């Protein structure tokens, strides 16, 4: 009793000294209640694992750290099986054979795991088993999570396998330390120090990813600097890969298609030129000599000025297959991004489909087309990209944003697990009902192809990693949804709250409710009813639907998307307009083509609608917009009230940080409401309903704002 009391005092003092800056993420191993600690003490007395295997050694270290934090007791590692041991078992081993697990493990996904109580020779064990040592590590993190969220018992039985083979973070980090669309400080990759100095943060990063099942990453921007493939930088990449390997995080690289010209001195990067093909073979061989478990390449080609095969009169198929052939002997893959659009196209939303679907079936099996979740560009709400129903013989990777480029940066509390879930469960009807985006991309409907789930990372050097403490939930949710896209986003939010803050229902329930309404809230005060891309020029933080930049491409400007006139507003993508509706399968094509059957959340995405159109609520379109914008503002205000009530449950540092961000979010929501409604009022000529709040400033005031002045930096 004295030992435990002393331990609790030490823990409290430690927290006071360290503060709660958010650096521990959801991996907080703080003391449990006496009852829960006793249950852990009774069931986990020893740990048995082969410490020569790096991932198992990492698992032992993690479990020992967790139990020590939970109970104050050091759990010893035992070289032999003992009563009440956690036993870490890898398929094919002698121990797996003794326990009769080999046949079951052989039939599992290589990353899957089993947690199961077993009794042998009157001794009880809690077995964590997997076909691979990394899979066992995932099982260890699941066990720790079950303790944290009150799901642990002596009868804990779990069988879990990932839905996607590759669950990858795409960092948009530049070699100079800046981060494109990064809102949590500078890049965590200190290239000037590598390979000689390894920041302790690299291991913490790998731990966090492994804890939610993320098994891959690209450290560099898709707008890639060819220098990343130089020998100098490959040594730096190798050093990172060595840190990540025990945690199952494989290294991929974003590459510049013109690298043979820039680094190799070749006169061309033509994918059909023998010298170019040989350059890639030699470069890939060089990489695998240094990083034997290297994953492959992410390629942004012929998009936004990036070089690609079209520059040499070739196709995306030619470029992707050339690199795929170089990677194939090593088991590597190519993730070829579908973010393409033509400057003179009739509809930017159609371009990826038009450029990739005609070549369906011609890509090598180790090529996956990486498509953004929606057809335009990570808007707060988009219909799913029709490329997901168009490519049926080709592997397709879903790319989502974890960083909040279009949802208020790290100022705004927005739980993007909801956005991911909405998109993944969308019906494409490619193979009839049940052909959801998730099943079209996870290998269940298109077997034999790469299955992957990619997220643009929101990680930086800020102490709390993501700039906003609630931004951590988006990293966490991405990992959990990549592992199992059938998980309810509410459950994921609940897990994160319990592990990051507290399990106290007085905190957990209102905060979870706030998170679950946060996506709809940001859509309400930014771009409801299918409005999209009316952001300010370049930085994408605040509203600027009036934006005009001389010489800019039309599809880089908001007017292209909102199409506001005195008659109405919205982009006509029906058969009388751009015809984008016919890139969807039936019955969706006809549903989206009809003004009356289009879901109102996508109304202005697919239709140019009169201002006086009668909505389902009975209001005119104009009045409906006014009410929704006000609803968004009111909802953010309710977030602040909710959070203020949470002060007794949260350390002062994190409480003040979130409180400050919510104040900024409220100001931003009002800015959005007033600027957008005042601007569109110049077309509608209709009054804002009298019972709603009046704009604080006039339109000219908002037109003078050229920078995200409400951002905290």
Q: Report yes or no: 545 and 558 within 8 Å, Cβ to Cβ.
A: yes
- Greatest alpha-carbon span in the chain: 83
Q: How far apart are CA 136 and CA 440, in angstroms?
A: 28
Which class for 213: exposed (0-12), middle (13-18), buried (19 or more C-beta within 10 A)? Answer: buried
Q: How far apart are CA 256 and CA 7, in angstroms?
A: 53
Which among 276, 281, 252 is positioned nearest to 264, based on CA atoms? 276
Cα torsion 172, 176, 182, 185: sign: positive
Q: Which residues, 6+ apart, have CB-to-CB distance to 450 below 8 Å?
A: 165, 166, 333, 365, 366, 367, 368, 395, 397
DSSP states along 251-306: EEEEE-TTHHHHTT--S---TT-HHHHHHHHHHHHHHHHH-TT--EEEE--SSTT-
Which 3 state secondary structure label does DSSP give 709?
coil
Q: How far apart are CA 10 and CA 89, in angstroms?
A: 35
Q: Is residue 161 annotated as a catalytic residue, yes or no?
A: no
Catalytic hit among 150, 232, 304, 612:
304
Q: Is residue 304 annotated as a catalytic residue, yes or no?
A: yes
Which among 350, 370, 381, 338 is positioned nearest to 455, based on CA atoms? 370
Catalytic hit among 405, 462, 624, 674:
405
DSSP states along 404-444: -TTTTGGGS---THHHHHHHHT-B--BTBTT-BHHHHHSSS
Q: Report yes or no: 170 and 456 within 8 Å, Cβ to Cβ.
A: yes
Q: How far apart are CA 48 and CA 93, in angstroms?
A: 14
Q: Report yes or no: 416 and 475 within 8 Å, Cβ to Cβ.
A: no
Which among 202, 204, 191 is positioned nearest to 236, based on CA atoms? 191
Q: Report yes or no: 351 and 338 within 8 Å, Cβ to Cβ.
A: no
Q: Report yes or no: 468 and 660 within 8 Å, Cβ to Cβ.
A: no
Q: How far apart are CA 649 and CA 645, in angstroms?
A: 9
Strands (E), 444-535: 452-456
Q: Report yes or no: 58 and 66 within 8 Å, Cβ to Cβ.
A: no
Catalytic hit among 377, 495, 544, 582:
377
Q: Report yes or no: 319 and 308 within 8 Å, Cβ to Cβ.
A: yes
Helical pair 417-424 and 471-483, crossing angle rounded to 10 deg? 30
At CA 305, angle to CA 304 and CA 307, rounded to 5?
A: 120
Which among 18, 20, 25 is positioned nearest to 465, based on CA atoms? 25
The neighbouring-strand residues paired with 125 are: 85, 118
Cα torsion 606, 516, 396, 259: sign: positive
User: For the chain, give me the number of helices (H) and strands (E)?
Assistant: 24, 16
Q: Report yes or no: 210 and 137 within 8 Å, Cβ to Cβ.
A: yes
DSSP state of 337: E
* Residues catalogued as catalytic: 304, 377, 405
């Amino acid at each position: 009793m004295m030992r435990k009391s002393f331990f609790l005092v030490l823990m409290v003092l430690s927290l006071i000294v360290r503060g709660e800056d958010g650096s521990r993420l959801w991996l907080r191993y703080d003391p449990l209640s006496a009852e829960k600690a006793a249950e852990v003490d009774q069931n986990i007395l020893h740990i048995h694992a082969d410490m020569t295997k790096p991932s198992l050694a990492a698992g032992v270290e993690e479990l020992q750290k967790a139990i020590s934090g939970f109970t104050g007791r050091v759990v010893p590692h035992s070289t032999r099986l003992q009563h009440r041991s956690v036993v870490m078992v890898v398929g094919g081993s002698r121990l797996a054979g003794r326990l009769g697990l080999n046949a079951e493990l052989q039939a599992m996904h290589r990353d899957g795991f089993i947690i199961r109580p077993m009794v042998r020779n009157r001794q009880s064990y809690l077995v964590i088993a997997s076909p691979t040592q990394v899979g066992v590590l995932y099982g260890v993190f699941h066990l720790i999570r079950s303790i944290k969220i009150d799901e642990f018992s002596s009868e804990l039985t779990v069988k879990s396998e990932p839905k996607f083979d590759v669950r990858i973070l795409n960092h948009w980090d530049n070699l100079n330390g800046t981060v494109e669309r990064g809102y949590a400080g500078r890049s965590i990759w200190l290239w000037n120090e590598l390979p000689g100095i390894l920041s302790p943060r690299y291991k913490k990063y790998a731990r966090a990813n492994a804890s939610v099942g993320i098994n891959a990453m690209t450290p560099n921007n898709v707008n890639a600097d060819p220098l990343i493939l130089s020998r100098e930088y490959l040594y730096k990449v190798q050093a990172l890969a060595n840190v990540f390997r025990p945690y199952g995080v494989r290294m991929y690289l974003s590459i510049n298609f013109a690298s043979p010209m820039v680094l190799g001195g070749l006169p061309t990067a033509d994918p059909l030129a023998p010298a170019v093909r040989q350059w890639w073979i030699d470069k890939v061989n060089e990489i695998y000599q240094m990083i034997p478990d290297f994953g492959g390449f992410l390629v942004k080609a012929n998009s936004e000025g990036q070089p690609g095969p079209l520059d040499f009169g070739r196709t995306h198929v030619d470029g992707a297959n050339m690199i795929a052939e170089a990677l194939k002997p090593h088991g590597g893959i190519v993730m070829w991004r579908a973010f393409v659009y033509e400057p003179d196209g009739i509809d930017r939303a159609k371009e990826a489909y038009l450029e990739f679907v005609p070549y369906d079936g011609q890509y090598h099996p180790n090529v996956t087309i990486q498509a953004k979740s929606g057809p335009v560009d990570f808007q707060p709400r988009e219909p799913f990209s029709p490329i997901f129903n168009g490519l049926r013989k080709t592997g397709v990777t879903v790319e989502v944003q974890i960083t909040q480029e279009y949802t208020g940066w790290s100022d705004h509390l927005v739980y993007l697990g909801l956005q991911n879930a909405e998109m993944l469960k969308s019906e494409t009807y490619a193979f009839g009902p049940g052909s959801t985006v998730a099943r079209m991309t996870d290998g269940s409907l298109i077997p034999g192809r790469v299955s992957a789930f990619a997220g643009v990372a929101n990680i930086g050097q800020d102490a709390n990693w993501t700039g906003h403490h609630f931004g951590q939930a988006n990293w966490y949710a991405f990992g959990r949804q990549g592992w199992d896209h059938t998980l309810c986003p509410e459950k994921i939010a609940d897990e994160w709250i319990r592990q990051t803050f507290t399990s106290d229902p007085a905190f957990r329930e209102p905060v979870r409710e706030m998170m679950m309404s946060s996506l709809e809230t940001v859509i309400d005060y930014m771009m409801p009813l299918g409005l999209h891309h009316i952001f300010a020029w370049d930085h994408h933080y605040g509203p600027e639907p009036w934006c005009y930049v001389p010489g800019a491409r039309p599809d880089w400007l908001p007017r292209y998307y909102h199409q506001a006139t005195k008659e109405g507003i919205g982009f006509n993508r029906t058969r009388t307009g751009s015809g984008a509706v016919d890139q969807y399968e039936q019955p969706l094509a006809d549903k989206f083509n009809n003004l009356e059957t289009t879901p109102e959340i996508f109304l202005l995405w697919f239709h140019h609608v009169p201002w006086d159109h009668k909505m389902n609520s009975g209001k005119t379109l104009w009045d409906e917009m006014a009410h929704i914008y006000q609803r968004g503002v009111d909802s953010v205000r309710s977030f602040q009230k909710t959070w203020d009530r949470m002060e007794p449950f949260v350390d002062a540092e994190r409480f003040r940080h979130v409180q400050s961000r919510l104040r900024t979010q409220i100001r931003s929501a009002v800015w959005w409401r007033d600027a957008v409604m005042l601007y569109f009022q110049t077309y509608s000529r209709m009054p804002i309903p009298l019972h709603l709040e009046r704009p604080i400033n006039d339109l000219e005031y908002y037109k003078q704002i050229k920078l995200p002045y409400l951002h905290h930096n």
